[in-house]
Structure 1
Amino acid sequence: MITAVERVRAAYARIARADRPEVWIDLRAREDAEADAAAVDARIAAGERLPLAGTVFAVKGNIDVAGLPTTAGCPAYAYRPAADAPAVARLKAAGAVLLGTTNLDQFATGLVGTRSPYGAVRNAVDPAYVSGGSSSGSAVAVALGIADFALGTDTAGSGRVPAALNGIVGLKPTIGLVPTDGVVPACASLDCVTVFARTLPEAERALSFMAAPSARELPALEQRRPGPWRIAVPDPGQLGELDKGWPEAFRSAATRLADAGAEILPVDLTPFTEAAAMLYEGAFVAERYTAVGTFVDARAGSADLDPTVAGIISRARDIPAHRLYADREKLSALRTRAVVALGDADALLLPTTPGHPTLAEVAADPVGTNARLGRFTNSTNLFDLAAVAVPAGEVNGLPFGVMLIGPAFTDERLARVAGLLTTPPLRLAVVGAHLSGQPLNGQLLALGGRLVRTTTTAPAYRLYALDTVPPKPGLVRAREGGAAIETEVWQLPAEGLGALLAALPRPMALGSVELADGTSVPGFLCEPEALDGAREITSYGGWRAALAATS
């Protein structure tokens, strides 16, 4: 296992090789980070449990870190917090070592990563393209392999757009799941602390330490209907104009979900796109003025202020109150339509962005290019939804990403569905109580299982009726006198199979089952000692036939 000190040294070596100074606002001195790492290693040596020991992370510059200025991307705004934001403190307490604070679109107002006096953050794959924002530095620090994970924020898509454009994972949790104390607000009622990582398990692990279940009361969620994952996918015509090659990449992602066993459902995207336009074009942008408007007005024309950001915030000052109430009423109606459109779908699949602009394209049209990037992300927090953005391939050598969006507090479910895109599904052979129509088949359905085919084992097995509740058979490989046994092959997400095995009671065990065509798949077998006194039913050729014959 790599030590914390070794990981810190590797991170600073990577920083030197990458030569991307625009990623950082305040990079900690190497000796300070090494001192923290040495303290972590000493605590581990003393027997303390620190689950994140050996990892390093970065924090977006609008989140408080004790000892470093919080700038929110504006030098004149900087203040020195007395304590870490709770999300940061929890990660440190778990053993992660902080590298520094990262660049962002000023006051978290932007999706491009270029609106900063600290410099435009260039894309990790091709520096001619934007990194995406506003959590630009955090995403690139992860994509370049400098940080194991990084914190961002997401109001309109800032925790997802940079993930997609840099080929990494971005988790945008349910509003309130991670405390926003110690975060400079963009729109306080919509802001989320998010996490970037190169893989889904790494992102989930970091999020688990940041989350605070008591921050918001957990509602009573409707029981999910058993069966495969149900994914809502809009008609291509509703997506609007996408970059060249992106429609095909999106269809490919949907196909991969279907191939993994998901049921693809149609959905009307209209309420989502109409609500997305309201975030900046409507009255909700006034909340950005509430956050930092007085500061921006007092420094009008200052070189510290990005002119595009300052213009957006200052114009929000004059939005009349009656317009806010009208927009709230309209949003409520759109939210109702969106819920109806989703029906019982577990998630909505969308491209994270419609395209990937170059730095030159943003410079030529800073407002229009930015607005286009939020077409699919802007409505998520307005509708109080959770989301996860994951890589889904490449187009013309650049990362292509999709996101899965679902109801509040279905964060874990969304991650399981996203796992179908990042982890190949596994197959499982069943011969007894998990067969279609049998008492335990619902376990497979609830875990997103899908029946692939019905076949038999190779003629090398024996089957016994076990004294269990519910009744089930035991399958064992025979040294001689074996037969072919009816078998169903099911496909499950990897984590679904893991959950099934964790609850598997003795005498059942998982082993390799040879099928009639000569291939082998994992399947349920029986421990030999459980067969003492059991009745052999091999001659019936399968469990269902044995039940029918003895009923």
Structure 2
Amino acid sequence: MAQATPSLSTLGWTLQDWQSAYREGASPSALLQALQAALQGDDPAWISIASAEQLAEQLLHLQTLLESVAGDTSKLPLYGVPFAAKDNIDAAGWRTTAACPEFAYVASSDAFVVAKLRAAGAILMGKTNLDQFATGLVGTRSPYGAVPNTFDPAYVSGGSSSGSASVVARGLVPFALGTDTAGSGRVPAAFNNIVGLKPTKGWASNSGLVPACRTLDCISVFALTVADAQRAIGLYAGYDAADGYSRQRPAGAPTHFPVKPTLAVPKQLEFFGDALAQQHFHATMGDLKAQGATLVEIDFAPFAQLAELLYYGPWVAERYVAIESMFDRNPDGIDPTVRKVVEQALNYSARDAFEAEYRRAVLARQINDVLAQVDALVVPSTPSIFTMEQLRQEPVKRNSELGTYTNFTNLADLSALALPAGLRSDGLPAGVTLIAPAWHDMALADFGRRWQAAQSLPPGAPGVVDRLPAPIQEKASDEIVVAVVGAHLRGMPLNHQLTSRHARFLEETATAAGDYRLYALPGTVPPKPGLKYAPSAGETIVLELWAMTPHAFGEFTAEVPAPLGIGNVVLADGRTVKGFICEPAALETATDISHLGGWRAYIASLKAQ
């Protein structure tokens, strides 16, 4: 397998690294032209690589975008950041093959998700290999070649998004788009020691995607870090009226799990005789407990039964519908194993489809009822990992086994996050996946960031990354940060108004130096302070920052009594956030406590009297 040259200066860079380089004056054209020159055409992870002309065209577009925001790169969150896309996702002017040369066409427009990424400043570096028509979990069913595992080429890379996982694991791009119908965005993540975030169905538009199963397909993302995956999906997801399956993300969707979550674990764990995989998962459960999680066993039977419906039920007919003209016109142009899978569609009737849908609805209800009692389900991403030779001997059976813990997810309308979980005792990667109800994507990511920060093993292929970026505690893109200065502080009597709405503590910090005064308001129950903006005539006041959803913020502010209100507060580092302010008239009879520097110090002074 062709590898990236070790001299490539951007090898293993995260979004944070790319953004830092540009802030320090690096040129997008210099960095990206060097990257383009290092990408190798005989690398089976790529089906097509950006030509010099395609790169130049994108760089020109990037310059136009920069001019439209008056040179402010902060308004282009992916300014000059390279990415890759699975080659069943359209990009204008690029061939889309779905790993079938006879099917290929030149896309006339960008897929919805690609357009959103390019509008944010991202640069498409190439289209990646896949199991043909996204049919498979192995990464070998492609006329463009099998994509080897990045740890040991004797093993499979996982599929169907094999190429996308490979180029991320080898540090060529910080993130890549994949798709996930039965686990294609999670199995390759596990086999290559990276993150795979499978969104809730409909959150990311499928306009411009060659479908596998239109009712189930999700455009997923691979990255070295959860933070990067979360950032990317937050930028390319969104409602698309042109996609009949697109959905609006609810305003009150959860954004984090408790610090000590309750996680369900199957009572019946299947590893198909792989003792090393079993040992590794049990060790991972120990790591979860050490990180504060409570594990409860559940009956996995409904999950397993639903998983069987996907490949052994009438949903395979969707795969036939997607490639019907190709199947009827040129069946020999289809990979033999893929053709064998798809032709099963001819064995099912409309009656079979409805009966299976009724069964799916019952099982999905049972599954969601179970998950309603916990924060998430934790499973091995896969029950085992297979060599290329093992797969050749039993291609369909082995592929089916790899979907044990993935196939049910989209049928039950769930969200999922595949995480690196260290190496097995034989040095191969093995991941863990957290699965939660629909729209828990950001809550999964919140837990995943904490999990990854606690791990000692760098993500990706061996030698690509020698450290994780320092964790940054920040708000999610759809949260509102609120500064609190008094009775809502941790340990104070009104803090429950934040915690009951799942607000998330971010940090303790302070107001802009010398610009605020703090007063103890008379007659308030419980006692409360009032904050006054006094530029250059105040003190530095200690406060706390909390993040909450817009829905929770609306409920919270409705409880704020006069004379308090919510306005803007300037912090010591120059940021401006929402925070408590006070009507000026109420301060006339209040006690100025600014010299104490904060409400806690004032309460302590009262107790000392």
TM-score range, shorter chain: 0.7 to 0.9
Contact 2:238 2:248 in 1 (8 A): no
Deviation at 1:9, TM superposition (A): 2.8
* Equivalent position of 1:129 in the other structure: 155
Alpha carbons of structure 1 residues 420 and 255: separation in structure 2 relative to 1, 3 Å? farther
Farther-moved stretch of structure 1 (343-352 vs 440-449): 440-449
| 1:158-180 deviations in Å (ceiling 9; x for gaps) | 11111111111111111111111
Could you tell me which amino acid in structure 2 is paired with residue 6 of structure 1?
A: A
Residues 93-492 of structure 1 correspond to what in structure 2 (within 5 A)? 93-213=119-239, 215-218=246-249, 228=259, 230-235=261-266, 237-241=268-272, 243-300=274-331, 302=332, 304-395=333-424, 396-424=426-454, 434=489, 438-441=493-496, 443=498, 446=502, 467=521, 470-471=526-527
Q: How far apart in 2 are the matches of 1:107 and 1:372?
A: 20
Match of 1:480 in 2: none
Contact 1:232 1:342 in 2 (8 A): no
Any conservation in 2 of the 1:61–1:102 contact (CA below 8 Å)?
A: yes
Instruction: Look up the equivalent residue of 2:264 and give its one-letter code.
Output: V
Deviations 1:33-63 (CA, angstroms, capped at 9, x unpaired): 1442354256536515322112111111111
Local SS of the residue matching 1:170: strand
Per-residue deviation, 1:203? 1.2
1: CA distance, partners of 2:569 / 2:121: 37
Contact 1:12–1:146 (Cα < 8 Å) also in 2: no
Query: Which secondary structure does the structure 2 equivalent of 1:185 belong to?
Result: coil
2:116 equivalent to 1:87? no
Which position in structure 1 is the counterpart of 2:482?
none
Does the CA-based 8 Å contact 1:155-1:191 persist in structure 2?
A: yes
SS in 2 for 1:357: coil
CA distance in 1, matches of 2:267, 2:355: 31
**1:523 equivalent in structure 2:** none
Tell me which of 8, 14, 30 is aligned to 1:6. Answer: 30
Relative to structure 1, is the Cα distance of residues 10 and 402 closer, same or farther in structure 2, using a 3 angstrom cutoff?
Answer: farther
Which is further off, 43-52 or 142-151? 43-52
CA distance in 2, matches of 1:114, 1:299: 21
Write out per-residue CA displacement over residues 443-475 of structure 1, whole angstroms, 9 at most, x where no aligned residue. 4573578xxxxxxxxxxxxxx99558753799x
Pairs within 5 Å for 1:528-539:
528=595, 530=597, 537=604
Output the CA distance in 2 between the equivalents of 1:378 and 1:59: 22
Q: CA deviation at 1:91?
A: 0.8
Alpha carbons of 1:346 and 1:140: their partners in 2 closer, same or farther (altered >3 Å)? same
Q: What SS is found at the alignment partner of 2:344?
A: helix
Structure 2 Cα separation of the partners of residues 531 and 199 of structure 1? 37
Deviation (angstroms), 1:257: 3.4
3-state SS of the aligned residue for 1:382? coil
Change (3 A) 1:69 1:426: closer
**Cα shift readout 1:310-358 (whole Å, capped 9, x = no counterpart):** 1111121221222111111111111121122223322111111111111
Deviations 1:180-214 (A, max 9, x none): 11111111110111111111111111111211146
Q: Which amino acid counterpart does residue 340 of structure 2 have in structure 1?
A: G
| Cα 1:466/1:244, change in 2 over 3 Å | farther
- TM-score w.r.t. structure 1 length? 0.78
The one-letter code of the counterpart of 1:5 is: S
C-alpha displacement of 1:231? 3.3
Give 5+ residue unaligned stretches, structure 2: 1-21, 241-245, 455-470, 474-484, 506-517, 531-544, 554-565, 574-592
Q: Per-residue deviation at 1:293?
A: 3.0
Distance 1:55 1:219 in 2: 29
Quickly say closer, same or farther: Cα 1:297–1:409, change in 2 above 3 A.
Answer: same
Q: How does 1:31-46 map to 2 (within 5 A)?
A: 31-37=53-59, 39-41=61-63, 43-44=65-66, 46=70
Per-residue CA deviations over 1:258-288 (Å, capped at 9, x if unaligned) read: 3333333332221111111110011111111
Contact persistence 1:228–1:263 (CA under 8 A): no
Match of 1:29 among 51, 61, 78: 51
Matches within 5 A, 1:49-64: 49-64=75-90
Cα distance change, pair 416–31 in 1 and its aligned pair in 2 (3 A): same
Please state how far the C-alpha of 1:89 moved relative to its aligned partner.
1.0
2:527 partner amino acid: P
Q: Percent identity?
A: 40
- Structure 1 pair 432–90 and aligned structure 2 pair: CA distance change class (3 A): closer
Could you tell me how far apart the structure 2 residues matched to 1:294 and 1:165 are?
Answer: 34
In structure 1, distance between residues paired with 2:42 and 2:448: 30
Q: Distance in 2 between matches of 1:169 and 1:504?
A: 38
Structure 1: how far apart are the matches of 2:189 and 2:42?
Answer: 18
Q: What runs of 5+ residues in structure 1 fail to find an aligned partner?
A: 450-463, 475-491, 511-525, 547-551
Rounded to whole Å, the distance in 2 between the matches of 1:219 and 1:507 is 30
Q: 1:206 is paired with a residue of what secondary structure? A: helix
| Distance in 2 between residues matched to 1:408 and 1:432, nearest whole Å | 35
Cα distance in 1, alignment partners of residues 255 and 374 from structure 2: 9
One-letter amino acid of the structure 2 residue matched with residue 47 of structure 1: G
What is the TM-score with the length of structure 2 in the denominator? 0.71
Which residue matches 2:457?
A: none
Which amino acid letter does the alignment assign opposite residue 494 of structure 2? P
Structural RMSD (CA)? 3.7
